[in-house]
Structure 1
Amino acid sequence: MLYIPTWQRVMIWALVALGLILAAPNLFYDRVERHNDALRVIEAQGPSPEAEAERGLWPDWMPSRIVNLGLDLRGGAHLLAEVQVADVYANRIDALWPDVRDALRTERTSVGNIRRVPSPDPAELRVQISEPAGMARALEVVRDLARPVFSFTGAGNRDLDISADGDEIVVTLSAAERAATDDRTMQQSLEIIRRRVDEAGTREPTIQRQGTDRILIQVPGIGSAAELKALIGTTARLAFHHVEGTASDAADPPGPGNMIVPSADEPGLYYIVQQTPVVSGEQLVDAQPAFDQNNRPAVNFRFNAQGGRAFGEYTAGNIGRPFAIVLDNEVVSAPTIQSHISGGSGIITGRFTVEESTQLAVLLRSGALPAEMVFLEERTVGPELGQDSIDAGQVAAAVALTAVLGFMILSYGLFGIIACLALLFNIAMIFALLSLVGATLTLPGIAGIVLTIGMAVDATVLIFERIREELRTAKGPARAIELGFEKALSAILDANITTFITAVILFAMGSGPVRGFAVTLGLGIVTSVFTAIFVTRSMIVFWFERRRPRTVTL
């Protein structure tokens, strides 16, 4: 019997109506985007007349999610960066020196005096002992500092290789630890870059690892590659060092365990600081732009419990002495400690503009990049090129849609018109789902939608051809329509499930544009099956109940 229960009809058309409502904001893309940007500004900075005016471009009670446009459609910046993972080895080894020194001091009776000596390899720690006869005991003590490698591939290995070279102990990272460090460095770099880009307010960036030490960064809507580099290309490594003195020449010998760092504000002035920092930026938990007591732009910072404790102990024992705030190998400030700072917080002052202090706060708050990045490839995609892509995609979609609609109407008459309406609902529901999940639409994604338009009518054609066959044998049109839908169902599901599996594999294995194509293809398959099986049938049943035709011509 050709019948659909009332509750099913309500569910079908409620979903169609919901799809149309969610897709509607995309028809007013610019206005909704400006409305959303204004809401973000109001949330971050408070209300303003300009933001409220932009907010009024779209009603607050209407859905405001829109499809995000990818780099090739909206324009933006593209960078390919190589992470200098070897820098992390040197930092790890440098951080080991206090532990090695303290461990050997307890064995001074057998190893004698100890001192760190320069090494040609920055990823190598060399410690000289004055009693070579105690070398075996010294190696044993230092080996106790080695820890297991925390990785699946390095399980069972230790993180340090320790050997003797004459009267010197040589400490390096093991091969297993270097591999684990590489992976951690890349994962940390990816996360920090993502946080920095997100804090800048850009939407739907593509940030992916390529190979062993490279990262692909694509950010739609940003002005230029130089702007993107300024945001993410700085390591923003903050550290607090004990000051040993000053120098007027970078070539002056700093002494063992020290290094020379230039002043960021005073050309020609250099600070001699201890190489190992008192507190590092990894212990920073917050940084906010502010103004100092002279109403100049500055940055407030706050450490975690461990960093605050170390900072408090250092300031308590060094009142009246300067300490250096070092940012990316430059001393941005060298204040004198006036009193014990026990709260674990402070302020960075310098010759900042308001924009520079805001950007510095973003960089510090999102964390320090673990290693420097070298940009191998950079380019800017202008919005004009993106608009050309959109126009070309719209033309292709319009041509495909017109051809399909014309074919269906010429081939199936009234039923073809019903199929065309279902196809329009299908396209609206695709955009509704893309908006709802926050997917990014790229040029390959438009190709997926165009392909979906062609595939969407395939299920309808199967149904209509089955109805034609049944009309030749069935007793009446109602039975023919019912059997047509029933017998075409298995073929429709088989064809679309296999295609959907392909889309899932493309999404799981692919990246970038391939994923964009897979998303639109997969969502298009879901909406196509829904509109073909349920929406088309619902419209045909509605027409049949009203007209009660004795014959149906297809």
Structure 2
Amino acid sequence: MNSKNIVKFMAIVIIIGILSYVAAYGLDIGKYEIVPVKELIKLGLDLRGGAEVVLEAQDNPDDPVTDEKIERAIATIRERIDSLGVTEPVITRQGDKKIRVSLPEIQDTQRALEIIGKTAQLKFVDEAGNTVLTGNDIKDAKAVYGSQSATGIQQPVVSLELTSEGAEKFAIATTNNVNKIIAIYLDESIISAPTVGEPITDGRAQISGSMTMEEAADLAMLIRAGALPVELETLQVTSIGPELGANSFEKSLTAGKIGILLVFIFMILYYRLPGLVADIALVLYICIVLFALAAIKATLTLPGIAGIILSVGMAVDANVIIFERIKEELKLGKSLRAAIDSGFRRAFLAIIDSNVTTLIAAIVLFYFGSGPIKGFAVTLSIGILASMFTAIIVTKQLMKLISGIKALSNTKLYGA
């Protein structure tokens, strides 16, 4: 039993060590490569900088700009930017007609500009000039590969799924226009002019033409997001630097490393063997948080870092509560194994209460917040769940393993 506990304990420590190495340096095994976590987590405007665009809504005598249209335009722009893979943009209204869009760590500014500012008014027009379908009749749009009817060559197209009302309109239009052209316009420009071969009654349509898969994906995204309610003119495009500054960011990372190291040392000095176990669990906690942020392709901002730091404190606090309970049980004369079981049982409700209430607050912030506030809520939520897992499950298992090792069964090693 003694040797089995040693083997299991060392196996867990080695696995955590491997995860830490992969998170920090990545792993390259033949054809397979895992990049370091820091390369997968994007940095926000305040840490890395990006691009800033100022747009102005254009008045139309027949259709004036209103507050409701500006709010709809902001919502549409946000949806388009999310489809670009740019997370945590800062979109604010300035005055009556201007919208300021800040994009963190953007790579292709020109493409972003084209997508953000394009009105995207879609319509299908027959040879008589009648509009038979509009963007409002589209339920979904996807970029796929489709075969040309003449050559059979696969090319990027946009596959459209129509609403029930749109499908009915399109069925009537295609029935009345067999062997005629129904042109597809985007912002008054023809993007495709197919000839109707037969009535289309299945509620599906296709936009084809000379386009790349990226262009087809952008067009599908514009159609899904919907048309802008007003025409927007780009007034200004500027590159912005990190608000925190590159040097300050590096210093913050160094300070964070020093802080965590001091926590490790304190836990060992004050709680002895349980402190070492807590440090091991804390390393796993950090790995879980980093891998989770990389998996969801999070954009890390200063509020997000604050959420991680707060959750680290809660992870340490959970271990402190557990170890204090164990010390109390040992002082009452209980055996080491009984003290560990009782200590975790007594600490469980306190840990659950504090973490669940904080998690509820994070969910509320995510639901009602936007931009950096959502980022704070996401990192805090991930941290809370990871800290509960490591404190309640991992720490407990490690403590049970070391309590079964004879050389480590002296209660003095546990602070008693």
Alpha-carbon contact 2:366-2:374 (below 8 Å) kept: yes
Task: Name the counterpart of 2:121.
Answer: 237
User: Does residue 255 of structure 2 align to residue 396 of structure 1?
Assistant: yes
After TM superposition, give the deviation of residue 505 of structure 1 in Å: 2.4
Structure 1 residues 416 and 231, CA, compared in 2 at 3 Å: closer, same or farther? same
Q: Which amino acid aligns with 2:366?
A: F
Following TM superposition, by how much is the alpha carbon of 1:399 offset from its aligned partner in structure 2, in angstroms?
1.9
Equivalent of 1:369, from 218, 221, 227? 227
| Cα deviation 1:40-73 (Å, max 9, x = unaligned) | xxxxxxxxxxxxxxx94517xx999985424335
Instruction: Trace 1:310-459 onto structure 2 (pairs within 5 A).
Output: 310=173, 313=176, 326-330=185-189, 342=198, 359=215, 362-363=218-219, 366-367=222-223, 369-374=227-232, 379-381=238-240, 391-437=250-296, 439-459=298-318
Q: Give the secondary-structure state (helix, strand or coil) at the position aligned to 2:118.
A: coil
1:398 is displaced (CA, Å) by: 0.5
Instruction: State whether structure 2 residue 116 is matched by structure 1 residue 222.
Output: no
8 Å Cα contact 2:362/2:381 also seen in 1:
yes
Instruction: Return closer, same or farther for 1:192/1:501 CA change in 2, 3 Å cut-off.
Output: closer
Can you give the 5+ residue segments of structure 1 that lack an aligned partner in the other structure? Answer: 36-54, 88-119, 124-177, 245-273
Instruction: Decide whether the 8 Å contact of 2:48 with 2:242 is kept in 1.
Output: yes
**Could you list the per-position Cα deviations for residues 503-534 of structure 1 after superposition, in whole angstroms to 9, with x for gaps in the alignment?**
22222222221222222222222222332233
Can you list the C-alpha shifts for 1:375-427, whole angstroms capped at 9, x where unaligned? 58755456998866763453232122012112112222233222211211221
Give the SS at the match of 2:386. helix
TM-score scaled by structure 1?
Answer: 0.53
Paired residue for 1:69?
42
Per-residue CA distance 1:120-171 (angstroms, 9 max, x = gap): 7458xxxxxxxxxxxxxxxxxxxxxxxxxxxxxxxxxxxxxxxxxxxxxxxx
Amino acid at match of 2:114: A
Change (3 A) 1:404 1:433: same
Change (3 A) 1:365 1:527: closer
Check conservation: 2:49, 2:240, Cα contact below 8 A: yes
Distance 2:323 2:158 in 1: 69
Does residue 506 in structure 1 map to residue 365 in structure 2? Answer: yes
Deviation at 1:443, TM superposition (A): 3.0
Contact 1:206 1:217 in 2 (8 A): no
| Closer, same or farther: CA 543–396 of 1 in aligned 2, 3 Å | same
- The answer to whether the 8 Å contact 1:408/1:416 transfers is yes
Structure 1 pair 227–19 and aligned structure 2 pair: CA distance change class (3 A): farther
1:393–1:443: 8 Å Cα contact kept in structure 2? Answer: no
Cα pair distance change 1:332/1:75, threshold 3 Å: same
Secondary structure in structure 2 of the residue aligned to 1:399: helix
Whether 2:55 is the aligned partner of 1:58: answer no
Looking at structure 2, the residues matched to 485 and 301 of structure 1 have their Cα atoms a distance apart, in angstroms, of 57
- Provide closer, same or farther for how the CA distance between residues 238 and 517 of structure 1 changes in structure 2, counting only shifts above 3 A: closer
CA distance in 1, matches of 2:394, 2:183: 70
C-alpha separation between the residues in 2 aligned to 1:506 and 1:314?
A: 53
Distance 1:189 1:533, change over 3 A: closer
* Residue 525 (1) aligns with residue 409 (2): no
Shift in alpha-carbon separation, 1:525–1:307, aligned structure 2, 3 A = same
Deviation at 1:457, TM superposition (A): 1.6
Task: Tell me by how many angstroms 1:313 deviates.
Answer: 3.0
Question: How many angstroms does 1:230 deviate by?
Answer: 1.4
- Of structures 1 and 2, the larger Rg is shown by 1
Cα distance in structure 1, aligned partners of 2:158 and 2:341: 71
Do 2:13 and 2:280's aligned partners in 1 also have CA atoms closer than 8 Å? no
Pairs aligned (count): 384
Q: How far does the alpha carbon of each residue in 1:280-303 deviate from its partner, in whole angstroms, 9 at most, with x for none? A: 45557677899999xxxx996777
Is the CA contact (8 Å cut-off) linking 1:309 and 1:342 kept in structure 2?
no
Map 1:162-241 onto structure 2 (within 5 A): 189=76, 193=80, 198=83, 202-203=84-85, 205-206=87-88, 220-223=104-107, 225-239=109-123
Partner of 1:269: none
Task: Compute the displacement of 1:234 (Å).
Answer: 1.0
CA deviation string 1:461-515 (max 9, x = no partner): 2233333344443255444444433333333333333322322222222222122
Distance 2:71 2:88 in 1: 20
Deviations 1:152-210 (A, max 9, x none): xxxxxxxxxxxxxxxxxxxxxxxxxx99x85995598358625xx63xxx435346886
Change (3 A) 1:537 1:223: closer
Q: What amino acid sits opposite 1:205 in the alignment?
A: T
Alpha-carbon spacing, 1:389–1:241, altered in 2? closer, same or farther (3 Å): farther
- In 1, Cα distance between equivalents of 2:405 and 2:185: 80
Compared with structure 1, are the counterparts of its residues 469 and 509 closer, same or farther at alpha carbon in structure 2 (3 Å cutoff)? Answer: same
Distance 1:387 1:407 in 2: 30
- Of residues 283-292 and 435-444 in structure 1, the stretch that sits farther from structure 2 once superposed is 283-292
Note closer, same or farther for the CA distance 1:315–1:388 as it changes in structure 2 (3 Å cut): farther
Give yes or no for the alignment of 1:474 onto 2:333: yes
Give, in whole Å, the separation in 1 of the partners of 2:76 and 2:51: 18
Query: Hey, what does 1:307 align to over in structure 2?
Result: 170
Q: Deviations over 1:254-285 (max 9, x none)?
A: xxxxxxxxxxxxxxxxxxxx6x6455455576
